[in-house]
Amino acid sequence: KPIFILNGPNLNLLGKRQPEIYGHDTLEDVERNCAALAGELGFEMRLFQSNFEGGIVELIHQAREEACAIIINPGAYTHTSVAILDALNTFDGPVMECHISNVHKRESFRHHSYVSLRADGVMAGFGVQGYELCVRRVCTLLGGK
């Protein structure tokens, strides 16, 4: 089963959106780098993005059937969405929460995460490299190379 990397609102604009905060790499770059790394570690990876809260909930439901692990950057829904937390609580495998920016260095409304109540690990402030570090972590947890 593949690792699912789920991305929330505005992350389709990664690379163009506030590059001083989120950098110049695009979501396609993230997808390519993570697929290559997952492959080296003996796993498959699929990356998705939705600007809709319910879209992310449905991707988590899909992951219940199809994924071995979830890496999720819920964007702003991190700080608001009980629905995404509830969906993640129905998933049995490893869950990593990934933020490109260091949310703790930013506005106080970004300091609280509903998703952290379920996440097995939280990445923040490592730029887009954080996604690759999450891939390494889930592969370790799943007993890969």
Q: Which residues in this chain contact ligand DQA in the complex, by CB under 6 A?
A: 10, 73, 75-76, 78, 99-101, 103, 110
- Sheet-wide strand order for 45-49: 45-49, 3-7, 69-73, 95-99, 121-124
Q: Rounded to whole angstroms, how far apart are CA atoms 44 and 84? A: 24
Residue whose CB is less far from ligand DQA, 110 or 136: 110
Who contacts 35 (Cβ-Cβ below 8 Å, separation ≥6)?
45, 47
Whether 112 is catalytic: no
Q: Rounded to the nearest whole angstrom, what is the least distance from the CB of residue 10 to ligand DQA in the complex?
A: 5
Q: Rounded to the nearest whole angstrom, what is the least distance from the CB of residue 32 to ligand DQA in the complex?
A: 18
- Active-site residue (options: 61, 79, 99, 131): 99
Place of tokens 């905060």: 21
Whether 22 is catalytic: yes
Catalytic (active-site) positions: 22, 99
